[in-house]
Amino acid sequence: MTNFTDLIDLASERLGGAVIFANDEFFAEKENLLRPKAAVFLEHEYTDRGKWMDGWETRRRRTPGHDYCIVRLGLPGIIRGVLVDTAFFRGNYPDQCSIEATFARSDTTPEELLGPSTPWIEILPQSKLAGDSKNLFEISSPYRYTHLRLNIFPDGGVARLRVHGYAVPDLPRGEIKVDVASVENGAVVLSCSDMFFGSRHNLIMPGRAANMGDGWETRRRRGPGHDWALIELAGLSTLQRIEIDTNHFKGNYADTCMIEGVNLGPGQDISSPDISFREILPRTKLMAHTRHFFDEELTDRGPFSHLRLNVYPDGGVSRLRVHGTLTAEGRLAARLRRFNTLPGPRAETELLTCCGSSAWARKMVALRPFQSLDQILGASDAACAALLRDDWLEAFRAHPRIGEQKAEKAQAAVEQRWSREEQSGTGSAGHETLAVLREANARYDEKFGHIFIICASGKSAEEMLIALSQRFDHSPDEELPVAAEEQRKITRLRLTKLLTR
């Protein structure tokens, strides 16, 4: 039996998951697919269209084709398995199903998703379904997705869909304080001593708990020891404040708690007996149905990669909030993970903001995954070394001329911002200098057949004009490798910005 159902449901309504389109929902609405509660059957309940069913059900298909719906995941992530539940659909369940996935903005419309520009990747081939059953399918795709298309063949009803995996969110840029223990920021509750009454994943879910069942609660301990939950943070973080919420736990809250943390080094295993945790919050009395805030009480602020919440002797905690800031190392690791798991076409699009050569972007995508900034910069240098003349010319066309704003090739917003930053030295140049630059650019274009490329960061307009004049004496064959070297340096700078800012 697979164990992926132990992971969070990325399509959960409380994370923002939604069924945004269905080609047919004649008998039962598409929204039922993601309802949090298990499906029910009301034997004598009918609507004006037929038998009431707690799921998504299409009419009997009398034409070629199949039915389908589109699900927007609550959090983008890596999918490890899906549950296609046909509960109570016995003579009206689909014979087979398949699932496709894509990566898109959260506000992408169904029309855009169904258009020719959206690449869909099959993550579950057409597979047999059983009626009135929990149909479990493992997914092996390594990529991060935002939307799924559930295809059913040819028609019929599905009660519930669960999409289990790991969240890989878009973290805020810069040193911004966030809840580094939130599932919305990529944290995971790896394990716990017990979760008889409430799942460990509830600890890091959004919002306050809706009821006692929406928290983490252990059974009553009858022997020695205490209960605990182990959390992997969104990334290596320094801590500012911790909140422990016992909302709705009144006669069964944890009596006291203690929090400790560890910073795992490369290759270290959290389950190793050699791991040494450091105390963050000393053992502290808790109260029923209360939000507890700890700031000055923290004895160690890290940095930490993992926390362990210990509760004594047992009981319930509804939410754990850990407000902190990802370190530079933590931000880099999180962004590398995000980049490594992007579907190929999306990864190429992001890479093209760093270097406009399609051949370079394809080579870089093929070399993933990258484990460090040095590794990706080294790979970039190697990919640049293999580029041909036409590849370099394509890359050059993605830049505006020095002193200008618009490139020959359309630029993404981030690429435009980087170009402005890189050419900031021209901002203080006088009209006469800019006029000379424009005239020199035109003569350069005419002679070499491409724009003047220079790694402009930190250079004044006058310095760039001197470099342009010196390089004008080159022959076209001599100038191309010089311009290519400048492009290589620009690419390294932009890759660094992409992954560290």
CATH number at residue 293: 2.60.120.260
| pLDDT at residue 220 greater than cutoff 60 | yes
In a domain, 337, yes or no: no
On whether the CB atoms of residues 139 and 10 are closer than 8 A, the answer is no
Q: Give the span between the Cα atoms of 310 and 395, in whole angstroms.
A: 54
Q: How confident is the model at residue 175 (pLDDT cuts 50, 70, 90)?
A: confident
Examine the domain organization and report whether 268 and 317 are in the same domain: yes
Q: How far is CA 481 from the centre of its chain?
A: 38
pLDDT of residue 272: 82
> Is residue 150, in this structure, part of any structural domain at all?
yes
Q: What is the pLDDT of residue 427?
A: 60
Q: Are 39 and 55 in contact (CB under 8 A)?
A: yes
Residue at 443 is within a domain: yes
Same domain membership, residue 314 and residue 181: yes
Residue 369, domain CATH: 1.10.3330.10
- pLDDT score at 424: 63
Same domain assignment for residues 123 and 34: yes
Write phi, then psi, for 231 (nearest 5 degrees): -115, 130
Instruction: Tell me which residue range forms the domain holding 238.
Output: 177-330
Percent of the chain past pLDDT 90, that is, above it, reads 77
Are 257 and 393 in the same domain? no
Indicate if the pLDDT at residue 116 is higher than 70: yes
Classify 1 as helix, strand or coil.
coil
Which of 90-94, 147-151, 313-317, 466-470 is predicted least confidently?
Answer: 466-470
Residue 417 maps to a domain: yes
End position of a domain, from candidates 107, 138, 166: 166
Instruction: Tell whether the model's pLDDT for residue 403 goes beyond 80.
Output: no
In terms of domains, do 188 and 159 share one?
A: no
**pTM for the predicted model, two decimal places:** 0.87
> Do residues 160 and 241 both lie within one domain?
no
Of 283, 305, 330, the one marking the end of a domain is 330
Residues 28-58 have pLDDT tens digits of 999 999 999 999 999 889 898 888 989 999 9
Boundary-marking domain end, from 166, 200, 220: 166
* Average pLDDT, integer, range 342-354: 93
Using DSSP, state whether 338 is helix, strand or coil: helix
Q: How many domains does the chain have?
A: 3
| DSSP letter for each residue of 61-105 | P-SSS-EEEEEEEEEEEEEEEEEEE-TT-SSSS-SEEEEEEE---
Decide if 56 is inside a domain.
Answer: yes
Q: Is 356 found in the same domain as 320? A: no
225 and 323 in a single domain? The answer is yes
403 versus 201: which is more confidently predicted? 201
In a domain, 335, yes or no: no
User: For residue 460, what pLDDT band results from cuts at 50, 70 and 90?
Assistant: confident
Q: Average model confidence (pLDDT) for the chain?
A: 92
The reply to whether 202 and 315 lie within a common domain is yes
Kindly report the number of other CB atoms within 10 A of residue 304's CB atom: 27
The predicted model gives 61-84 an average pLDDT of 96
- Token duo for residue 122: 């099959």
410: pLDDT strictly greater than 80: no
Residue with the bigger pLDDT between 490 and 407: it is 490
Say if CB 495 and CB 415 are below 8 A apart.
Answer: no
Same domain for 326 and 183?
A: yes
Has residue 171 been placed in a domain?
no
Statement: residue 164 has pLDDT above 90: yes
| Domain co-membership, 416 together with 462 | yes
Of the pLDDT bands very low, low, confident and very high (cuts 50, 70, 90), residue 426 is low
pLDDT at residue 404 above 80? Answer: no
What pLDDT band is residue 271 in, cutting at 50, 70 and 90?
confident
Going by C-alpha positions, the residue among 91, 88, 179, 87 that lies closest to residue 135 is 87
More confident call, 76 vs 501: 76
Same domain flag for 129 and 29: yes
206 lies in a domain? yes
